[in-house]
Structure formats: C-alpha cells, structure tokens
Amino acid sequence: MYRVTFVDADGQARELTANEGQSVMSVAVANGIDQILAECGGSCACGTCHCYVDETWTERLPAPDDSEQGMIECLMSPTERSRLSCQLKMTAALDGLVVHLPREQY
C-alpha cells in the first residue's frame, strides 16, 4: 500500500492509501474526496479530476502525454503543476505523493 495526501483549497490535508497501479483519481473517488468529480470515469476526456501536484513532487513525475496536456490546456486556472489525477498511477516511486485540489473543477 502506498500513501497519497490530498490537500483541499482551504489547506486541510487527508492522507489515504492506494494500491500499486491505482490512479490518484480512483483513490479520491473511493474515499469521498468531493473536489475530484471524475465525470468521464478516468478516460482523460473531461478534466474534472484536475489537481496540482505539490512542487516537491513535480520533478519526480513523468511529463503528461499529449492527450493529458491537451486536456490541461482547457482547464480553469491551469499551472505548470496541473495534472489529471486519472493519469497518475501509484507506484513505490510515488509513495507519499501530495496533490492539492482546486476549489472547483468548473
């Protein structure tokens, strides 16, 4: 089991556990993280699982592929730390990942 921490827009942190290969989005949905809407169910087609990767983690993640980058460009308030949580799969290398949640997805 790996750890991922979700920090809401008000600074409240919630640490959850994830299985190998589980998406950060599915961890959020399974545990009632309301800011992750996941309307497309994780198919990288809606952008409602947008999160901001903590700056201490940005260099440790692979770059978004073209599909994810295209969706990020359509988001409200994207930054260089924006990612779609459906595209972040948990591995040992990401144990302890911290993501910040936008106040709203749209």
Q: Dump pLDDT digits (tens) for 14-33.
A: 999 999 999 999 999 999 99
pLDDT value at 106 more than 90: no
Q: Give the model's pLDDT for residue 90.
A: 97
Q: Dump pLDDT digits (tens) for 40-80.
A: 999 999 999 999 999 999 999 999 999 999 999 999 889 99
Q: Give the model's pLDDT for residue 105.
A: 85
Domain ranges of the chain: 2-100
Q: Which CATH architecture has domain 2-100?
A: Roll (3.10)
Q: Dump pLDDT digits (tens) for 72-92.
A: 999 988 999 999 999 999 999
C-alpha to C-alpha distances, 62 to 9, 45, 65, 76, nearest whole angstrom: 25, 19, 9, 22
